[in-house]
Amino acid sequence: MAGQERLTAARVLVVGAGGLGSPALLYLAAAGVGTLGVVDADTVEASNLQRQLIHSDADVGRRKTESAAEAVTRVNPSVNVIRHDVRLDSSNALEVLRDYDVVVDGTDNFPTRYLLNDACVLLGKPHVWGSIYRFDGQVAVWWAEHGPCYRCVFPSPPPPGVVPSCAEGGVLGALCGAIGSVQATETVKLLLGTGEPLVGRLLVHDALAMTWNTLPVRKDPGCPVCGESPTVTALVDYDELCSRPGVSARADTANSGMGVPVVTAPELAAELGSDAPPLVVDVRGPDERSIASIPGALAIHLDEFRDGSFTSHDELAAHGRRIVVHCKVGSRSAEAVRLAQAAGYTDVVSLDGGVLAWVHEVDPTQPVY
């Protein structure tokens, strides 16, 4: 009874009503957590439904927080759901997080992850973090007062484009349930003050091998946020820091932070109709190309850029013109552009938003995926 009363009095903020937030929200509601905050500025898309089970086909086009709140209420009508239809940034994060006991991180981008970590350290709150990619997942509890914070273990984000989003790189839908459920478990343990939370430990799950391993992680005395002499004493936005400095990049949806020169779909359409059309290169595989494509695009898989064999294509060897690389939404093409630049190609750009932008803005007769 005492434990249930603690859960009823608890306030938990779940950032992201997506793949990880879906199971976390539902299990926390079923456990009887009294107040659940949901942060998400996006709307439900059909492509989300494979892994974001808190939403249904009828919710496509609705705000994710609205759909999630209704699902939580169906599970437990006694839960007080607070919607935060915002994108967290340095101006609002502290205010949003301040009144919650535990923060569950279900985000899918590095700027928000680093922002959340800094905010939780400054507020002294435990931060239940999860990460998924394809068939792999990780979970940890970052709590600077008792162990390392996220930055102690991951001091800086990886180079832009190296880690695609779930939409770009793919993720096994059921993996979201496995990792999100662990996050809910860790949250309940923290609220009850029972068991051994994943503080100072990183849980690593390989779904293909069906293994769970725990790695020790330690506090970094030189951490700029929670170290002995912290230099980060106020929140900053990390969008710019997660892109390559000195290279222009549109602050747009898919290619934001990718750090390479880009062209929009309407701009590409205009260039293709000019007297000097660019060479369009598609780095996707044949299955994706069969769904939607740009007419006349040359198929060169991203793997050929990675191993350097792309230079053997006659069209590239004697191109003498601008090259526009595209994929589905932008991260793979951004990587290909960087590899082409390293090989000496100068006039090469990425299609901002990928083929999906082309379908939405130029050729809506093609399907999206």
> Is residue 166 among the annotated active site residues?
yes
Q: What is the structure's pLDDT at 368? A: 85
Each residue's pLDDT, cut to its tens digit, for the chain (369 residues) gives 999 999 999 999 999 999 999 999 999 999 999 999 999 999 999 989 999 999 999 999 999 999 999 999 999 999 999 999 999 999 999 999 999 999 999 998 888 999 999 999 999 999 999 999 889 999 999 999 999 999 999 998 766 555 566 666 678 999 999 999 999 999 999 999 999 999 999 999 999 999 999 999 999 999 999 999 999 889 988 765 554 333 333 333 334 335 689 999 999 999 999 998 999 999 999 989 999 999 999 999 999 999 999 988 888 876 578 999 999 988 899 999 999 999 989 899 999 999 999 999 999 999 988
Q: What is the structure's pLDDT at 62? A: 96
Q: What is the dihedral of CA 332, 333, 334, 340, to 10 degrees?
A: 120
Q: What is the structure's pLDDT at 256? A: 39
Please give the sequence-ordered ranges of beta strands (E in DSSP) within 237-347, or none if there are none: 262-263, 279-282, 298-299, 323-326
Backbone angles phi and psi of 284, in degrees to 5? -85, 175
Q: What is the structure's pLDDT at 244? A: 37
Q: What is the structure's pLDDT at 315? A: 85
- 43 with 62: CB under 8 angstroms? yes
Q: What is the structure's pLDDT at 158? A: 67
345 Cβ partners below 8 Å, 6+ apart?
A: 316, 323
Residues 120, 152, 226, 327: which is the catalytic one?
327
Handedness of CA 87, 92, 93, 97 (dihedral sign): negative
Short-list 111, 204, 118, 222, CA closest to 158: 111
Please give the sequence-ordered ranges of beta strands (E in DSSP) within 16-171, or none if there are none: 35-39, 80-84, 102-105, 127-133, 136-142
Residues 120, 149, 152, 166: which is the catalytic one?
166
- 147 with 216: CB under 8 angstroms? no
Q: Which domains does the chain have, with CATH numbers?
A: 2-216 (3.40.50.720), 262-361 (3.40.250.10)
Q: What is the structure's pLDDT at 57? A: 95
> Is residue 120 among the annotated active site residues?
no
Amino acid code (one letter) for 226:
C
**Which residue carries 């003498």 as its tokens?**
320
